[in-house]
């Protein structure tokens, strides 16, 4: 590892006796303030411990939202994404523990959508660094594409969803999947990359017997 990396400036009280206790207390205070603000902004939501929302002005939620412990939702924009970015979540939807939603390119989650634990959704991705680029301080180039999860979808734990993907309504995505292409409605899809393994569309009822 390089030893030239700049280190974060240490606060003056770090070396004092009891500094560690003071740091822990300040951290708890910060977490408390942050949790309180979040509950004020989302009064109808059920919010677990340690939930982090960045750019809450770009978050729109419906009724009965569950944000489980340690979920991380980043709706923020900046110069790097032309100040775009949003996360929209419909009614009766659930973001499981330790999920990470990166909404710089826009994420729309419908009604009655359930994300298991450790589900990651990103609406942006970094372009591969060119071989001639050797300056470690040069910012990454990004591509943005909105992610849409339609109504009544269940995304099982440990799944990653790539930018630009649309998951059709009434689908289920198996645990540990990598969803890199659209999934049609009524699908059971799984794997890395996720493929449709079954469809639950009811057969056409054209055969009518007297
Ligand atoms: C996707 C899922 C719902 C499908 O269940 P199922 O309909 O009973 O599917 P099957 O067990 O019959 O498997 C069908 C095929 O898909 C494969 N498959 C199933 N789940 C898979 C997964 N998560 N990843 C990769 N492949 C998977 C099976 O290996 C099988 O392949 P094969 O036909 O080549 O043998 C289930 O496997 C699953 O992932 N459940 C998640 C449970 C979970 O994480 N719950 C907690 C959070 S919500």
Residue 192 near ligand 1, beta carbon < 6 Å:
no
* Greater pLDDT, 12 or 57: 57
Rounded to an integer, what distance in angstroms lies between the CA atom of residue 22 and that of residue 158?
Answer: 36
Predicted confidence at residue 3, as pLDDT, reads 44
Domains of the chain: 45-130+139-205 (2.160.10.10)
Q: In what order do the strands lie in the sheet with 160-161?
A: 52-54, 72-74, 100-102, 120-122, 160-161, 178-179
Those residues with Cβ within 8 angstroms of residue 109's Cβ, 6 or more apart along the chain or in another chain: 87, 88, 89, 90, 93, 115, 149
* Distance (Å) from CA 197 to ligand 1 centroid: 8
* Distance (Å) from CA 198 to ligand 1 centroid: 10
pLDDT over threshold 90, residue 25: no
Pocket test for ligand 1, best of 68, 114, 157, 190 (most atoms within 8 A of CB): 190
Q: What share of residues in the chain are helix, strand, coil (percent, to 5)?
A: 15, 30, 55
Mean pLDDT score, 82-92: 94
Q: Please report the atom of ligand 1 found closest to the CA of residue 176.
A: 23
* Cα maximum dimension of the chain: 89
Mean pLDDT score, 135-151: 94
Those residues with Cβ within 8 angstroms of residue 190's Cβ, 6 or more apart along the chain or in another chain: 173, 174, 175, 177, 197
Q: How confident is the model at residue 196 (pLDDT cuts 50, 70, 90)?
A: very high
Rounded to an integer, what distance in angstroms lies between the CA atom of residue 51 and that of residue 37?
Answer: 11
Predicted confidence at residue 1, as pLDDT, reads 43
Q: How confident is the model at residue 192 (pLDDT cuts 50, 70, 90)?
A: very high
Residues 157-189 pLDDT 10s: 999 999 999 999 999 999 999 999 999 999 999
pLDDT over threshold 50, residue 4: no
Q: What is the mean pLDDT of the chain?
A: 89
Predicted confidence at residue 2, as pLDDT, reads 44
pLDDT over threshold 70, residue 7: no
Predicted confidence at residue 204, as pLDDT, reads 67
Predicted confidence at residue 151, as pLDDT, reads 98
Pairing of the two strands 187-190 and 195-199:
antiparallel
Predicted confidence at residue 208, as pLDDT, reads 56
Look up the pTM and report it. Answer: 0.84
């Amino acid at each position: 590892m390089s030893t030239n990396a700049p280190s974060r400036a240490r606060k003056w009280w770090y070396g004092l006796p009891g500094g560690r206790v003071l740091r822990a207390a300040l951290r708890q205070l910060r977490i408390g303030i942050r949790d309180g603000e979040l509950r004020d902004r989302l009064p109808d939501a059920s919010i677990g411990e340690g939930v982090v929302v960045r750019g809450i002005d770009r978050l729109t939620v419906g009724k009965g939202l569950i944000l489980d412990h340690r979920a991380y939702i980043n709706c923020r924009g900046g110069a790097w994404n032309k100040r775009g970015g949003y996360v929209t979540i419909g009614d009766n939807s659930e973001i499981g523990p330790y999920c990470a939603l990166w909404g710089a390119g826009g994420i729309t989650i419908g009604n009655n959508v359930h994300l298991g634990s450790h589900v990651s959704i990103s609406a942006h991705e970094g372009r591969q660094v060119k071989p001639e680029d050797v300056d470690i301080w040069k910012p990454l180039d990004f591509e943005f594409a909105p992610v849409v999860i339609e109504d009544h979808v269940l995304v099982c734990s440990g799944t990653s969803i790539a930018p630009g993907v649309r998951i059709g309504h009434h689908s289920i995505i198996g645990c540990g999947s990598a969803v890199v292409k659209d999934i049609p409605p009524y699908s059971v899809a799984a794997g890395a990359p996720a493929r449709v393994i079954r469809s639950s569309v009811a057969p056409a009822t054209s055969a009518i017997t007297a």
